[in-house]
Amino acid sequence: MVAAHILALALGSVSPGDQVALPPIDAPAAAPAPTPVATPAPSPVATPAPETTPAPVLQTAPTSPAVLVLPVFAGPASTTIVGYTGPKPLVAAQDARAADTGDAIVVTGRSKPPPGDPLQALNAKSYEVSQAADRAIVAPAAHVYKGIVPRQVRTGIRHFFRNLQEPIVALNYLLQLHPGKAAETVARFALNSTIGLGGVIDVARVRPFNLPRRSNDFANTLGYYGVGPGAFFFLPLVGPTTVRDLIGGAVDSAYVGVLARATIGSVLTNPKVALPTGIVRGLDFRIEFDERIKTINDKSDPYVAAREYYLNRRAAEIEALHHPSSQADAETDLKNPPVDGVAHRKAAPKR
């Protein structure tokens, strides 16, 4: 109130000397109670739901390359990253909206090669080249050879070269501690080399001898004692093989060379003899396994089918060495395809 009195003097509404009643200081005027003001409740604000990205859908594609489609979260244009392709990939496809708009990153690639085939890409290329040569040269030549040379002559040639392998078979049976099988193999070699006209006729197989032919080599001996196959290779002019089979083949070849020089001299190692006999044996092999080759080529991935067939067959041959009583005839019939990853054996038909 004192401030109000001073203000009144300043405005001239009160003259100096006028009596102005002032309220006692110790009795301040009660301030009026404030009028409550209703505060409006805040209106709810709709919060948009966060956008979600649909999870990729995994599909299998036997022959198409591996493709991973990812959404692009920024940038108007789409970007494509192209790598290398491979057989039997997984395909992760984004939804149709991302594929239609083009807002995606596409990555293609090859799955990791299996442990036993670290050079899968190179081996597959070698297989393709070999198959191209087979279609253009080897298969036509084999069919001409089949049409010209009578079946009995081709069978005799096959028996002759197989008879030359009998000493290797016998030696490896001894190394595998199967003296009975070694003795039977030696008897086969003696009978066929004499009565069978140098092995052209397999007389040891029929009655009264009943000595079946069995396949064996130093690579089998290594596998028998636990040496693994090692890396798989598909080599031109050699075909499917492994590190163990390459080493075993080299040892067998050296043994045959020593034995040949000690018996018949260097006739079979002479290039003038070795080259044509090698060609004839290759053509005969191509004829004998023509149906099996067709079966492999009809697979969705012929290279993988050829690799698995070879590895399964070799594993079955080595496994059979641990059960000699079940080997009535251990000659593997390659026309009998593996079933469920196992190469089955059956007695070879009479030729």
SS3 category, 58 = strand
* pLDDT tens for each residue of 43-97: 555 555 555 555 554 444 444 444 444 444 444 444 444 444 444 444 444 444 4
**Angle between helices 151-164 and 179-194 in degrees, nearest 10:** 130
* Mean pLDDT in residue range 98-106: 51
Does residue 130 belong to any structural domain of this protein?
yes
* Mean pLDDT in residue range 2-22: 47
CA dihedral (330, 263, 201, 183) positive or negative: negative
For residues 67 and 183, state if they share a domain: no
How many beta carbons lie within 10 A of that of residue 203, not counting itself?
A: 17
The two three-digit tokens of residue 126, written as one number = 């070698």
For residues 178 and 215, state if they share a domain: yes
For residues 155 and 94, state if they share a domain: no
Q: What residue numbers bound the domain in which 66 lies?
A: 57-109
The DSSP string of 179-247 is HHHHHHHHHHHHHHHHTTTTTTS-GGGSTTT--------HHHHHHHTT----SEEEETTTEEEEHHHHH
For residues 229 and 185, state if they share a domain: yes
Does residue 315 belong to any structural domain of this protein?
yes
Does residue 84 belong to any structural domain of this protein?
yes
Structure confidence at residue 272 (pLDDT):
80
Distance separating alpha carbons of residues 80 and 86, to the nearest angstrom? 18
Of residues 6 and 262, more confidence is placed in 262
Does residue 187 belong to any structural domain of this protein?
yes
Any residues with CB less than 8 A from the CB of 65 and at least 6 apart, and which?
85, 86, 89, 108, 109, 110
Domain count for the chain: 2
- Residue where the block lists tokens 């005799």: 156
